Amino acid sequence: MRIMRTTILVFGLLVIFAACKKKKPDGCGDTFKYTFGYNKQIDTVHSNSSVFITINPGSNTVFSYEHNSGVCSMAADAGYTELLVFQLSPSVGNNFQFADAQLGTISCYYFRSCFCAGVTAKPVTSGSISGSRLSAATWLIHADILLPGSNNRIVFSREFNE
């Protein structure tokens, strides 16, 4: 009798532990995109107290880091999207490095989209971004950015593709 209770208890615990380790469905979890486009420009749209970013045709090269979190949550207001954008003029060449106040010269903005108040694009003024062109379709970008109004950082070293 005691062996049967122990067996049932162990089996029950195994079922509970197995249920807690459910794998997320394919395509769930955080996703990241590292892209750039030639002949673009970053424009800002002001609406009330918010600033929004638009990417339009232009003469610059625009780089975009996008992080989507919570994309498979069942709650409609779960998750968020982070966007870090900046642009380079054609005169920059194949290598660049910008830090702190210089980030304003490349229209570096951070935007976090969520179901929350105060959603607005913010200029990035602290940190550094550097890069090297690897080919016409690939840049290697290094970033260590302090997010505006926060102690959080975005740090990456990734290839950006057209």
HEC-encoded secondary structure of 87-149? EECHHHCCEEEEEHHHHHHHCCEEEEECCCCCCCCEECCCEEEEEEEEECCEEEEEEEEECCC
Q: What number is the average pLDDT over the span 130-148?
A: 97
Q: pLDDT by residue (tens digit) across 96-112? A: 999 999 999 999 999 98
Among 17-31, 33-47, 100-114, the minimum mean pLDDT is found in: 17-31
What is the residue extent of each domain of the chain? 25-161
For residue 154, what pLDDT band results from cuts at 50, 70 and 90?
very high
d(CA 51, CA 85): 14
Quote the DSSP letter at residue 3: H
Q: What number is the average pLDDT over the span 69-90?
A: 78
Q: What number is the average pLDDT over the span 71-96?
A: 82
Q: What is the mean pLDDT of the chain?
A: 82
| CA-closest candidate to residue 57, choices 39, 45, 44 | 39
CB 103 within 8 A of CB 87: no
Helices and strands counted in the chain (H then E): 1, 10
Q: Which amino acid is at 5?
A: R
| CA-closest candidate to residue 113, choices 61, 58, 69 | 69
Residue 75 pLDDT greater than 50, yes or no: yes
Please give the pLDDT value at position 28: 67
For residue 47, what pLDDT band results from cuts at 50, 70 and 90?
confident
C-alpha atoms less than 13 angstroms from C-alpha of 157 in its C-beta half-sphere = 1
Please give the pLDDT value at position 22: 45
Residue 142 pLDDT greater than 90, yes or no: yes
Please give the pLDDT value at position 17: 39
CB neighbour class for 19 (10 Å; exposed up to 12, middle 13-18, buried from 19): exposed
Please give the pLDDT value at position 10: 38
CA triple 35-41-49, angle to 5 deg:
100
